[in-house]
Structure 1
Amino acid sequence: MVGSVDLEGTELSTVPSFWECREYQRTVRRVETSNKLCNELAQMIQERAEVERAYAANLKRWSSKWLSFLDSGLEYGSGASAWKGLCVEADAVSNAHKSVQTQLIDELLTGLKHWQKEHFHKTPLPPHALKEAKLFEQDFEQAQKPWAKRLRKVYNGKKEYHQACKMERSLQVQVQNAKNDPSGTPEQQDESNKLKKMQDKLKKAEKEVERTRSNYTNALNDLDAESPRYLEEMTKVFNRTQEFERERLTYFKCLFMNMQQALNVTLKVK
């Protein structure tokens, strides 16, 4: 179960997981990444549109140049017809690539920017964070807060318990050493008093071990009792982030298919 700990001192897991404190940040950052991916895809489409525009313009210039040359009359008959046919074909291909550029900009890029604007909203004040990411973060924090509070009690209880055990063991050694001291000097009475004091300290230390052990056990029980609610609430928020990301993936897949169709110039050459 989330937050379960070995009572006898095994360290809490240090492997980061979604369920640990604030590890939901990785899920929140996915929202920011999605927005960035929209920007990157928009740039990709813009650059491809520029490639199409430049190619269309170059073909148009090439066709115009060699059609003008044909007007010189140096070529004639069937040769002139074939020559002209190549130039006309290039002109048609140029128009097709120009159509691709127009579709990329007017339909796909415009549609992407509109979708991004509808799904991602930035806060008006610096650092202009995404409202969607901020909302998910707040909901995760709210769901995790009671559990995190109990987890801190577990950590503190564990620390106090181990410190108490360490003190108990130290006093046990001191008392045993004092008992084994074969002193027969006039100061033996003083040594006896010191031993009694150490034994009193040991008794207090033993009580402290029991007290801290009880607190530690109670903290663990409280954490285990809180875990079902914690799992349920965190899962609810996580599922919302999943749906948010799933919507982006679905839109991107559709956009990729439309882009693939737009780039098929064979459907546009007339």
Structure 2
Amino acid sequence: MYFYLGEVQCILPQGQTTPEKCLSNPWHGKGFCEPNQYKAAIDRCEGGHKSCDLGIEIYKDLVKVLENCSESLRQWSLTSQRKIVQSKEFGTTKVTWIESIKAFEKLAERNDDITENIQHNVIDKMIAYKNSKYEKSFRRVIKVKEFEKDFKKIQKSWSELLDKINEAKQEFHHASHKLHQAKQSENVTKTDVSSTDEDKKKAKDNVAHYESVTERRKSTYSKLIKDMKEKQPDYEENMFKILSRTDDFERDRLNQFKSLFGALQEAVSIEKDTRHNEMSDLLKKAIDKYDINSDIQFFNQHYGRETKTKWPVFEDVHE
């Protein structure tokens, strides 16, 4: 419920069953200094704690994926080498093929390095940060509880003032409505030929009564609005001071996340990765052993043109 007076908008505190509670973002579209809107800042702080848990969960999943990948690579290497050994391939081709397969095990070792870096430089640090930053008491983050307590303290008297304003508004509007009805009744009485002087006097007195009531309630209403305008700057300043503290609290978490993102980048960087160079060197050495002419010659020496063919000769019958 709200009303306008010039540029001033007064809003009653929202109940827990209002439609906004069903939305994904109930704080959108409202001013921060309105009743209970400070909960957007509280929700952000609590969301930071949940994001830490989410980050830990996600990167633990990544570690499992990398570990499974390493195991799969090693299993693939063993299986592939076995198949090549059992194949009909020979010579430098066989050697190069097997050694190039072994070289890819460096990918598994590289995954192991990445896994270790993510575990120590991302997950462990995120866990340590979460435990130190979001210390809990009775399932609530202590620092967040402090923010909420300070917001409530500042907003308590302000909410009471808004309640008085809305009550005064209702009384003023009700009195104005009664005055309007009294004036209409007086006009009818004046034009009614059957009305007695007593009826006319009662109608006039009734108008005077509601004029007096309306004026008093208007005065009360106006004074409360004036009082609100006088208190508004200090109220806003105090609310924004606490908001700034929550900003600093959240900024610290975001800086921590930025550091962790940098650690992730460092973990997968190829520039400083020795495994990548080792794999490249092993592949080069394996390929350098590859000698096509040697394999062709080997085949010809043992199975081809350099072997001695036994040609059939005429064999006479010996009795």
Indicate whether 1:230 and 2:235 are aligned: yes
By how many angstroms is 1:64 displaced?
2.1
What corresponds to 1:91 in structure 2? 105
**Could you list the per-position Cα deviations for residues 15-35 of structure 1 after superposition, in whole angstroms to 9, with x for gaps in the alignment?**
622110111111110011111
Task: Give the Cα separation in 2 of the matches to 1:132 and 1:252.
Answer: 19
C-alpha distance in 2 between matches for 1:55 and 1:265:
18
Of the structure 1 ranges 93-102 and 162-171, higher mean CA displacement relative to structure 2 is found in 93-102
Deviation at 1:195, TM superposition (A): 2.1
Q: CA 1:83–1:21 in 2, change beyond 3 Å: closer, same or farther?
A: same
Instruction: Supply the distance in 1 between the matched residues of 2:58 and 2:184 (Cα, whole angstroms).
Output: 73
* Of 49-58 and 99-108, the range deviating more from structure 2: 99-108
Which of the residues 43, 55, 71 maps onto 1:29?
43
Q: How many residues are aligned here?
A: 258
Native 8 Å contact 2:3 2:11 kept in 1? no
User: Does structure 1 conserve the Cα–Cα contact (< 8 Å) formed by 2:81 and 2:98?
Assistant: yes
Q: What are the Cα deviations for residues 132-190 of structure 1, in whole angstroms up to 9, with x where unaligned?
A: 2221111111122222222222111111111111111100000110010122xxxx5xx
Gaps of 5+ in 2: 13-28, 279-319
Q: Report the CA distance between 1:265 and its aligned residue.
A: 5.2
Counterparts of 1:46-195 in structure 2, within 5 Å, are 46-70=60-84, 74-124=88-138, 128-183=139-194, 191-195=196-200
Q: Which has the higher helix share?
A: 1
Alpha-carbon distance between aligned partners in 2 of 1:158 and 1:180, rounded to the nearest angstrom: 33
Task: Identify unmatched segments of 5+ residues in structure 1.
Answer: none
The 8 Å contact of residues 11 and 34 in structure 2, kept in 1 or not, is answered as no
Question: TM-score under structure 1 normalisation?
Answer: 0.88
Give the deviation of 1:89 after TM superposition: 1.3
* Distance (Å, rounded) in 2 between the aligned partners of 1:225 and 1:4: 19
**Cα RMSD (Å) of the superposition?**
2.4
Q: Which residue of 1 aligns with 2:290?
A: none
**SS of aligned partner of 1:220:** helix
Distance (whole Å) between structure 1 residues aligned to residue 237 and residue 258 of structure 2: 31
The answer on whether the counterparts of 2:118 and 2:263 sit within 8 Å (CA) in structure 1 is: no
Identity %: 23
Q: For the residues of structure 1 that align with 2:44 and 2:93, how far apart are their CA atoms?
A: 62
| Larger Rg over CA atoms | 2
After superposition, what is the alpha-carbon deviation per residue over 1:46-74, rounded to whole angstroms, capped at 9, x for unaligned? 11111110111011111122334455585
Moved over 6 A (4+): none
What's the CA shift string for 1:209-242, capped at 9, x where partnerless? 1100110111011101111110110010000011
Offset at residue 90 of structure 1 (A): 1.3
